[in-house]
Amino acid sequence: MGKFSVGAIIGFVALLGRIYGPFSQLTNLYVDIKRSTALFERIFDYFDMEPAITDKPGATPADLAMQDIVFDRVGFTYQQDKQALQNISFTADAGTMTALVGQVDKLMICRE
């Protein structure tokens, strides 16, 4: 009966990996293509959606260039049942980038 050395066994396992690795990748290619196709379908469905909020007929665009934007007692929610901000008032100065930063009880307005 023949004997196998540890090196021969490791070499054989490495050879099997080299042989079956590309075959395994090829069989997974179909799954990757189907997954990508489904993702692109969802993306294009999203682009085709009609906006939930539309302008009134005859509305004119607001000319906000170089004008301050005042937020007076506004709120914001991430989820419908959980209010993130409520009754917040601030002014976004014209020509600046404005951000609300921090926890709700220690909210800061940062301008750049």
Whether residue 78 sits in one domain with residue 35: no
Residue 55 lies in a domain: no
75-110 tens-digit pLDDT: 888 777 778 888 888 898 888 888 888 877 777 777
What residues contact 41, with CB distance under 8 A and at least 6 apart?
none
Q: What is the domain extent for residue 80?
A: 69-111
Provide the number of structural domains found in the chain. 2
- Burial (CB < 10 A; 0-12, 13-18, 19+), residue 103, is exposed
23-60 tens-digit pLDDT: 888 888 889 999 999 999 999 999 999 888 888 899 88
Residue 61 lies in a domain: no
Whole-model pTM: value is 0.41
